[in-house]
Structure 1
Amino acid sequence: MAVPPRGRRVQQTITQLRERILGGEWPVGGRIPTEPQLVAALGVGRNTVREAVRALQHAGVLECRQGSGTYVVSTDELAPVVARRLSDNRMAEVIEVRRAFEVEAARLAARRRTPEDLAALDDALAAREAAWDAGRVDEFVAADALLHDAVMAAAHNPMLAELYASVGAALRSTLAQAIGDAPERHVDHSRLVDAIRAGDPERAAIEAAAFLESPPGA
């Protein structure tokens, strides 16, 4: 059997690594096998594995942590692109992207929510409010992310959820920037949950849009 050219071997290895990440074998936040283990599992040479891993590091999918190993930090290359946009202070663009995702998700959730979805929304909302009342900003940001994820799940659109997940971490960092330590900036999401529970798509969309207004002058 002919041996594929080196460039093609590297590309095939990148594809194999990406498939295992997307398949959940190596989840986001998890550590991938060591280089010798990858060599044995994939049946390619050390240099091929090294180049493939390096390519995924440059793409923002993997991250090498000195003395610890290599970790999955994203499921695709889209999240790092959004993160770079954030670093360029393009806040107005980011808010517009969030509106595109979250307003439609709220509308769909009001039409498709199940009792299980409503229970998840209630739990996330309660955790969000408790964290805010206690002044635990980091916990509040995490709970707010869970609430928005619950709305997205209630929309029951796998493609929308997948796209949102790929950029969600970068998009949600805008919340931490916006909140700071100012309690007057708290935004009530109970009306959004109520609209979804009531099965009112238009009111849900209005509520979702209300807390994602573009900054003045945008």
Structure 2
Amino acid sequence: MVELAVEQLRQRILDGVWTVGQRLPTEPELASELGISRNTVREAMRVLAFSGLVEVRQGDGSYLRTRVDPLHAVLAMSRCSPEQARETRHILEAEAIGLAAERRTEADLQGLREALAGSAAHFHSDVDAYVSCDLVFHQRLVDAAHNPALSELYRYFSGVVAAALQHNMSSVPRCQTVFDLHGQILEAIEQRDPQRAKRLSRTLIES
């Protein structure tokens, strides 16, 4: 049912039913239109978000990001090994965070503080909620580099990051020291210290 829902939604996107940047109908609305359950719609939207077609904004809804399906690129990312994923994060995320320390604005800092507070609220509770909040924080770290290409690459790669994070949090005890690295990274960015920000980011990636 989920695969069927994904194909129906993909076809609507290809047919131009929604425009790029448009807020999509709610889960109940889509469930009613497609004649399926809300849970099926939710899973289908997760697939579309992972493939990069849809952006899910927590508390706001889902938005169409692009009509060009980057599925092949995303599948290639999803097949990478844990070591390859770590290498990619070192190259992409840590370097972007170094740039963020040099280029961040006050608005970036405010957004990062809000995202970190959201993560902290869920760190010792629901894994799915924490992973969603943590991805927002990491995306905002990369966005603070103010390089649209880096931001877009990280959005596609974030599905791999989410899968690894979910696996780690489900298989090993949660470590407050590891979470605290997030706040230290934010502090380094606030202080415009790119070398410290990159060093802390690499430590976090290896944790």
**How far off its partner does 1:184 sit?**
3.0
Q: Which residue of 2 aligns with 1:191?
A: 184
* 2:194 partner amino acid: P
Aligned to 2:103: 112
Aligned pair partner of 2:197 in 178, 193, 204:
204
- Distance in 2 of aligned mates of 1:156 and 1:18: 32
* Equivalent-residue separation in structure 1 for 2:146 and 2:17 (angstroms): 24
* 8 A Cα contact 1:124 1:143, kept in partner: yes
Residues 22 and 64, structure 2, Cα contact 8 Å, conserved in 1: no
Hey, what does 2:123 align to over in structure 1? Answer: 132
Q: Are 1:100 and 2:97 matched, yes or no?
A: no
- Say whether the 8 Å CA contact 2:104–2:144 is kept in structure 1: yes
State the shift of 1:17 in Å: 3.8
The count of residues paired between Structure 1 and Structure 2 equals: 164
Tell me the distance in 2 between the aligned counterparts of 1:112 and 1:122. 16
Change (3 A) 1:160 1:154: same
Equivalent residues of 1:79, 1:170 under 8 A apart: no
From the CA coordinates, give the structure whose radius of gyration is larger: 1
Confirm or deny: 8 A CA contact 1:20 1:26 kept in the other structure. Answer: no
Q: CA offsets, 1:88-136, max 9 Å, x none?
A: 4611111111222211111111011111111111111111111113x22
In the superposition, the TM-score normalised over structure 1's length comes to 0.61
Matches within 5 A, 1:11-160: 17=14, 23-25=20-22, 75=66, 76-78=68-70, 80-83=72-75, 85-86=77-78, 88=79, 90-133=81-124, 135-160=125-150
| 1:163 and 2:153 are equivalent in the alignment | yes
Partner residue in 2 for 1:11? none
| % same residue | 29
Q: Check 1:128–1:79 CA distance in 2 against 1; reply closer, same or farther (3 A cut).
A: farther
Give 5+ residue unaligned stretches, structure 1. 1-13, 35-56, 64-70
Alpha carbons of 1:170 and 1:21: their partners in 2 closer, same or farther (altered >3 Å)? farther
* Post-superposition offset of 1:209: 0.9
Deviation at 1:62, TM superposition (A): 7.0
SS of aligned partner of 1:187: helix
Report the Cα distance in structure 1 between the residues aligned to 2:113 and 2:200, rounded to whole angstroms: 16
1:126-153 deviations in whole A, cap 9, x for unaligned?
11111113x2211111111010011112
Residue 167 of structure 1 aligns with an amino acid whose one-letter code is F
Task: Give the TM-score normalised by structure 2.
Answer: 0.64
- Preserved contact between residue 61 and residue 72 of structure 1 (Cα < 8 Å): no
Change (3 A) 1:210 1:125: same
C-alpha separation in 2, matches of 1:21 and 1:99: 36
2:176 equivalent to 1:182? no
CA distance change for structure 1 residues 18 and 121 in 2, over 3 Å: closer, same or farther?
A: farther
